[in-house]
C-alpha cells in the first residue's frame, strides 16, 4: 500500500504541493483529479522518488527512497523517457537486468503483444511515435510486477486499442492486489473503474471521496469537480 503523509514541495518559493496526505490500499484504484497545474505530477514525482520534499512517503511500509520501495514501485511518467539508442526489446532487457528479473522474457513478449508492439521490437526509441513510446514505457513499468503503480495522465496520446488494453491491465493489476494511482484531468477516462478519488487544486487536496460515498449520497463526481475547481476561483474555502 501507498502512504503519503504531509508532503509539501516547493520549487524555489512556489508551493506546488502543500501538506498533501492520502493512502491507497492494496487492490484499490485511486484517481488524482485536478486541472492543469494543480500539482498532480509533482506529488507523483515525489512518490516516485524523483524530487526532494518535506513529509513522508512509504511504499508497503518502506520509505520511498529505499531500495525495497523502488523494487515495489512502477511509474509511468507523463512524458515517456526512452533511450534513443536502445531498441524496444533492449528497453525490456535493460529493465530486466536492472531489477535482476528471472524468467521475464515470456512476460515481456506478452506485454508487447498486448500493446501491439511485437513487430516493433527492433525499432529504436528515437524511431517511435509519442504513443508508441508511451506504450513501451507502460510495458517497462509492468515488467517488474510492481505492487504500487503510478500512472501520470496515462491515456494521453494513446490510440483506442491501447486505451482499452491499458484499462484491462489496470483492472488485472487491481485484482492482483496492486495499489494504483492514476492522475488525470479527464474524468470520463476513469469513470468506470475508480475506487477512490482525491481532487487537487492549487497544490492541496481540496476534496476526497470513495466511490461508495458518491454512490451512497447520489453526489455527482463531475459536478463536485467543477464546484471545486471553478468555485475556488471565487472563494477560498478549504476542504469540501
CA dist., res. 233 & res. 132, Å (int): 38
State phi, psi for 182 to the nearest 5 degrees: -125, 120
Give the three cell numbers for residue 76.
509511468
21, 5 Cβ separation under 8 angstroms: yes
Which one of the spans 29-37, 84-92, 120-128, 129-137 is the region binding ligand ADP (CB under 6 A)? 29-37
Q: Does 74 bind ligand ADP (CB under 6 A)?
A: no
Subset of 182-211 contacting ligand ADP (CB under 6 A): none
Residue closer to Mg ion by CB (options 115, 151) is: 151
**Distance in Å, CB of 152 to ligand ADP, minimum:** 7
Listing from the earlier edge strand, what are the strands of the sheet with 54-59? 14-24, 2-11, 54-59, 62-63
Q: Which spans in 115-210 are helix H?
A: 130-143, 160-175
**Distance in Å, CB of 72 to ligand ADP, minimum:** 23
**Distance in Å, CB of 95 to ligand ADP, minimum:** 25
74, 149 Cβ separation under 8 angstroms: yes
CA dist., res. 107 & res. 104, Å (int): 5
Residue closer to ligand ADP by CB (options 64, 144) is: 64
Map residue 238 onto helix, strand or coil: coil
For residue 118, the 8-state DSSP code is: G
Which one of the spans 9-17, 62-70, 136-144, 204-212 is the region binding ligand ADP (CB under 6 A)? 9-17
Which one of the spans 35-43, 96-104, 107-115, 134-142 is the region binding ligand ADP (CB under 6 A)? 35-43
Q: Does 40 bind ligand ADP (CB under 6 A)?
A: yes
Task: Choose which of 4, 31, 39, 150 interacts with ligand ADP (CB under 6 A).
Answer: 39
Q: Does 16 bind ligand ADP (CB under 6 A)?
A: yes
**Distance in Å, CB of 127 to Mg ion, minimum:** 26
Number of H helices, E strands in the chain: 8, 10
Task: Choose which of 2, 22, 34, 91 interacts with ligand ADP (CB under 6 A).
Answer: 34
Where does this chain bind ligand ADP (CB under 6 A)?
11, 14, 16, 34, 36-42
Amino acid at each position: 500500500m501507498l502512504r503519503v503523509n504531509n508532503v509539501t514541495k516547493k520549487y524555489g518559493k512556489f508551493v506546488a504541493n502543500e501538506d498533501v496526505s492520502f493512502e491507497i490500499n492494496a487492490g484499490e484504484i485511486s484517481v488524482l483529479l485536478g486541472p492543469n497545474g494543480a500539482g498532480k505530477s509533482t506529488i507523483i514525482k515525489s512518490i516516485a522518488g524523483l524530487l526532494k520534499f518535506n513529509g513522508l512517503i512509504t511504499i508497503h511500509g518502506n520509505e520511498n527512497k529505499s531500495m525495497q520501495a523502488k523494487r515495489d514501485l512502477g511509474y509511468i511518467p507523463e512524458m515517456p523517457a526512452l533511450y534513443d539508442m536502445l531498441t524496444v526489446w533492449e528497453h525490456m532487457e535493460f529493465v530486466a537486468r536492472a531489477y535482476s528479473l528471472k524468467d521475464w522474457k515470456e512476460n515481456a513478449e506478452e506485454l508487447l503483444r498486448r500493446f501491439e508492439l511485437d513487430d516493433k521490437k527492433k525499432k529504436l526509441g528515437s524511431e517511435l511515435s509519442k504513443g508508441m513510446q508511451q506504450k513501451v514505457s507502460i510495458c517497462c513499468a509492468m515488467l517488474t510486477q510492481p505492487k504500487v503503480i503510478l500512472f501520470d495522465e496515462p491515456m494521453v496520446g494513446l490510440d483506442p486499442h491501447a486505451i482499452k488494453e491499458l484499462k484491462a491491465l489496470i483492472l488485472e493489476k487491481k485484482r492482483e492486489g496492486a495499489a494504483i494511482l492514476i492522475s488525470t484531468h479527464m474524468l470520463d477516462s476513469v469513470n468506470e473503474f475508480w475506487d477512490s478519488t482525491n481532487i487537487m487544486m492549487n497544490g492541496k487536496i481540496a476534496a476526497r471521496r470513495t466511490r461508495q460515498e458518491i454512490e451512497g449520497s447520489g453526489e455527482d463526481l463531475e459536478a463536485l469537480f467543477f464546484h471545486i475547481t471553478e468555485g475556488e476561483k471565487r472563494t477560498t474555502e478549504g476542504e469540501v
